């Protein structure tokens, strides 16, 4: 048994029960958090061929999207090596074959890669500059033409999101809001 293992949670979605092993020190180590759940339930899939889950944690968003888009290649990425380990475990546990896990600080490992869909539960505690540059502006540069960037933030960051959109002339669309979280979409 892995010394970091805390428990396995079951996440029902669209008639399927996903199972996720969770480590004690990872984000949302009790259950799939509200923001992640809201993003999963909000994302509309338009047959993407390539998907990136940026800051994947133990993998719930990317794994659910890989299951729902079996013809897409899904890349799950995180800077935390324990997250990478548990994402790999959870891909196997959920029998996901169309996904890969790449350790990366932001998009450093994806310099010349572009995606049809990028998703992220943006971490609120990394600071404004990191949110702006690493989790908003940089992902937009990695979208294919017509690509979509869907993300969720804690609602206290809504003013920051509006400011980023205005200063950078980005077209954000607010999709949904629940339990102190807001989902946005950017389309190129």
Given this model, what pLDDT does residue 87 score?
96
Domains within the chain, CATH numbers bracketed: 32-187 (3.40.50.150)
**Burial readout 68-87 (b: 16 or more C-beta within 10 A, e: otherwise):** bbeebbbbbbbebebbbbbb
Q: Which residues pair with 151 in a beta bridge?
A: 120, 184
Given this model, what pLDDT does residue 54 score?
97
> Does the structure show a pLDDT above 80 at 177?
yes
Report the C-alpha gap between 162 and 81 in whole angstroms.
32
pLDDT digits (tens, 9 = 90+) for 104-130: 999 999 999 999 999 999 988 888 999
Overall pTM surpassing 0.85 (yes/no): yes
pLDDT digits (tens, 9 = 90+) for 119-163: 999 988 888 999 999 999 999 999 999 999 999 999 999 999 999
Residues with Cβ within 8 Å of 2's Cβ and at least 6 positions away in sequence, in order, are 21, 23, 85, 89
Sign of the alpha-carbon dihedral angle for 120, 11, 91, 84:
positive
């Amino acid at each position: 048994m892995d010394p970091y293992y805390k428990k396995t949670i079951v996440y029902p979605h669209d008639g399927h029960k996903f199972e996720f092993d969770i480590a004690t020190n990872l984000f949302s180590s009790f259950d799939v958090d509200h923001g992640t759940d809201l993003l999963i339930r909000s994302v509309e899939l338009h047959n993407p061929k390539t998907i990136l889950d940026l800051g994947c944690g133990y993998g719930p968003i990317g794994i659910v999207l890989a299951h729902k888009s079996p013809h897409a290649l899904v890349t799950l990425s995180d800077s935390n090596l324990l997250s990478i380990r548990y994402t790999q475990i959870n891909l196997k546990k959920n029998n996901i074959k169309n996904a890969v896990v790449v350790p990366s600080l932001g998009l450093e490992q994806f310099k010349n890669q572009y995606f049809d869909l990028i998703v992220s539960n943006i971490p609120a505690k990394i600071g404004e500059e990191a949110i702006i540059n690493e989790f908003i502006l940089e992902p937009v540069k990695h979208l294919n033409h017509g690509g979509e960037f869907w993300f969720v933030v804690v609602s206290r960051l809504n003013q920051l999101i509006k400011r980023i959109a205005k200063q950078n002339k980005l077209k954000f669309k607010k999709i949904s809001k629940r339990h102190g979280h807001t989902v946005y979409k950017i389309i190129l």
